[in-house]
Structure 1
Amino acid sequence: MRRRGCLVQNERQGIYHTKEKSMTEALKTFSKDLADLVAGTADSVLTVHARRRLPASGIAWAEDLVITAHHGVESDADITIATAAGEQVAAQLVGRDPRNDLALLRVEGALQPANWAAADSLRVGDLAVAVARPIRIRASAGIVSGIVQARATRQRRRKMRMALQKSGKGKRPHRRTDKWRRRMRQWGGFALAEGLLQLDLVMYPGFSGGALLGADGGVHGLLTSGFGGGIGMAVPLSTLRSLVAALLSDGEIRSGYLGVGAQAAQLPDAIINTLEQETGLLVVSLEAGSPAAAAGLLVGDILVALGDEAIADIDELQLALTRMKVGATVAIAFLRGGELREGSITIGAR
């Protein structure tokens, strides 16, 4: 019996040793893959000297273009880029977008462009690696912990379309967007792009302007701590592409405007129940020849939606305008005489 018991015990120990060895090999493989991931993009991550204190990081967008964090570029002149090889290259500011914390620089020389991801495919829970070069190459691993979305406002927008056909009655629905609205204010009025990535990883000093890598080895966004609150963020690739194109074309990001003077106003109870929103923007003045005047809005109307965005106050209107292209025609919803109406408006340029 003892011998049989020893055999069983030895078998169990063998299983444990096999599992332990398998786990060790898996960790070694993971560690090597992670190091290879960082090494694969290291040459495209740069140091940006554009402020007095610790420099920021940057990413080679093209052979002669670098993207970095706006808040890391304190001066429009005397900007220097340090490459992975230690070469110092002079850079000129092409343009910047403070609301999305992006600056675009041009250099003379042949940089190694980053391996950009094919699409914005990161999901909550995906592995994310921050790669930066404040002085030397550094990395921080974590996960994508959140993605800023306007799904709640789209749900409210669909309710508006239904309300245009019949009046809403019954129990008031639960308001789902208050927390989202408060978070927008906490980020100081920055234009939080649809799909902005919230990161659960350590953003060391100088990491802003660095690259966010996915497990596929592609760069999925630009790192930034510029939205405040100690939260690590990344501007997604799709947003970067549109912003870089605009900066190359115009040298600036044109902000949209409607040409109205407005203030928050309480909505009627029936509308509150229907739209899950207590306030809208009361139009108190109209600029002659403005987009709002051309759309037929009148003083006294209450704007409640612009495009897919529910509008409850001035902050939400400003945020919505920063996400919309100048010249685009979008739907609007507004109250006139207590009746919910719908129309369209063309976003103007300020």
Structure 2
Amino acid sequence: MSASSSPGTRARSGTNLRALSDDLAGAVERAGRSVVAIHARPRIPASGIYWRDGVVVAASHTIRKEQDIAVTLADGTRAQAQLVGRDGGTDIAVLRFDSAPTAKALTLADRAADDALRVGSLVLAVGRPGDGGVTASLGVISTVGERWRTWSGGEIDRFVRLDLAVYDGFSGGALVDAEGSVLGVNCSALARGTPLTIPNATVERVVDALLTRGHVARAYLGVAMQPVRLTRSLAERLKLSETAGGVLVVMVESDSPADRGGLLVGDVIISADGHDMAEPQDVAELLGAERVGGKLELRVVRGGELKNLSLTVGERAQAGDARRRGARS
């Protein structure tokens, strides 16, 4: 009989598996004390995390009501909450309890450090899809990428993709490590068919903004662009690199920051704030929330000549803002 199949080896393996199983069950139990069920959209189960005193974080796409939202706590009791604000760009919503729950009913989430996200780490998705109790799914973190921008303009600090099953009602729930510490908020709406996690750093930034202002400020210019390459003869005449390119302005919204700053359809933006521009994303990456109200210095090619423009960066319209509905960045 080989050593690998000896009774002693099998016994040790069984002990190790039981220990791992107990650890994972303990992690779910600890995390579950901070995970709630949210009843804010008919027939759509959803979860949330008790993030700060009196404050729950949830997935924005699961919230239809703004007032008198029923929340099932960890001990099975129900409490009422109101919507403080939401950010469609990151799919984060913030709710505030009418009365803060007791520590017995619900405990604040224990959050892991920002550097705890590692590819290959065993993780658990923990949700509370209804009144029936906590639900969990085991898997690994398959990708930890750089900062990225969602299709609706939200800035996420890290691209965190999961290899695990995400069941109905898991959106807004917690991704936790093997000790039950929260790594971020799970979301199914940011990438179709791909379970992603919004990391703690992003959640904290959005929560701060929503509690302070009720919305997340987003910069916008009001233009549509596409990449373009200058002809060699034009690049030589303007004393630019032979491979010089830029972004061609194909649309300018009326009375937008770009319009007021003098940007025209047909202009080719070759640099912004001294940085070469090759793709529309290059421009977008310069438009963080801190740029709202500030200046953006552009160098453009217009009619075969170089021209400098100075634009005042505007703020993207919020949902329901009739003054700038449909604004684009």
Which category of TM-score, normalised to the shorter sequence, fits these structures? Answer: 0.7 to 0.9
Counterpart Cα distance in 2 of 1:213 and 1:304: 44
Normalising by structure 1, we get a TM-score of: 0.72
Q: Deviations over 1:245-296 (max 9, x none)?
A: 11011111222122x544425222668xx899976142765877947866x8
What are the within-5 Å matches in structure 2 for residues 271-350 of structure 1?
Answer: 280-282=247-249, 285=252, 290=257, 301-303=267-269, 312-313=279-280, 316=281, 320=285, 323-327=288-292, 334-336=299-301, 347-350=313-316
Higher relative contact order (CA 8 A, sep 6+): 1
Amino acid at match of 2:75: A
> Cα gap change, 1:300/1:134 in structure 2, threshold over 3 Å: closer, same or farther?
same
Q: TM (normalized to structure 2)?
A: 0.76
Partner SS state of residue 41, structure 2: coil
Structure 1 runs not aligned, ≥5 long: 1-8, 152-183
Count of aligned pairs: 301
> Please, which of 199, 204, 215 is the counterpart of residue 241 of structure 1?
204
Name 1:138's counterpart in structure 2: 135
Q: Aligned Cα RMSD in Å? A: 3.8
The 3-state SS of whatever aligns with 1:33 is helix
**Of 109, 112, 116, which aligns to 1:117?**
112
Contact 1:256 1:321 in 2 (8 A): no
Match of 2:81 in 1: 91
Q: 1:276 and 1:239 mapped to 2: Cα distance?
A: 37
The structure with the larger Rg is: 1
Conserved? CA contact 2:23–2:179, under 8 Å: no
Secondary structure in structure 2 of the residue aligned to 1:24: helix
Aligned to 2:326: none
- Cα shift readout 1:59-79 (whole Å, capped 9, x = no counterpart): 001120000000110122331
Taking the aligned partners of 2:53 and 2:167, their CA distance within structure 1 comes to 27
Deviation by residue 1:20-51 (Cα, 9 ceiling, x = unmatched): 22222221111111111111111100000001
Q: Does 1:55 align with 2:48?
A: no
Cα contact 2:269–2:277 (8 A) shared by 1:
no
Contact 1:281–1:312, Cα closer than 8 Å, also in 2:
no
Q: Which of these residues, 12, 15, 18, is aligned with residue 25 of structure 1?
A: 15
- Relative distance call for 1:250 and 1:192 in structure 2 (3 A) is closer
Equivalent residue, structure 2, for 1:39: 29
Residue 241 of structure 1 aligns to a residue whose secondary structure is: helix
Distance 1:148 1:225, change over 3 A: same
Counterparts of 1:339 and 1:72, CA distance in 2:
51
- Provide the C-alpha distance between the structure 1 equivalents of 2:26 and 2:175, rounded to a whole number of angstroms: 15
Q: Return the offset for 1:227.
A: 1.9
For the structure 1 residues 325 and 120, does the alpha-carbon distance in structure 2 shift closer, same or farther, using more than 3 Å as the test? farther
Structure richer in helix, relative to its length: 1
1:317 Cα offset (Å): 7.3
Query: Does the aligned pair in 1 maintain the 2:88–2:152 contact within 8 Å?
Result: no
- Once the 2 structures are TM-superposed, how far is the Cα of residue 150 of structure 1 from its aligned partner? 5.3
Q: Is the 8 A contact 2:257 2:311 kept in 1?
A: no
1:280 & 1:189 partners in 2: Cα distance? 20
> 1:142-201 CA deviation, whole Å, 9 max, x = no partner?
1111234259xxxxxxxxxxxxxxxxxxxxxxxxxxxxxxxx8xx753535130311111
* Cα distance, 1:19 vs structure 2: 2.7
Instruction: For 1:120 and 1:54, locate their aligned partners in 2 and report how far apart those are by CA, in whole Å.
Output: 33
Correspondences of 1:238-277 after superposition (within 5 Å): 238-258=201-221, 260-264=222-226, 266-268=228-230
Assess if the C-alpha contact under 8 Å between 1:304 and 1:312 holds in 2: no
In structure 2, relative to structure 1, the CA distance for the partners of 1:283 and 1:188 (3 Å cut) is closer
Percentage identity across paired residues of the two chains: 32
Secondary structure of the residue aligned to 2:157 is coil
Q: Post-superposition shift, 1:223?
A: 0.7
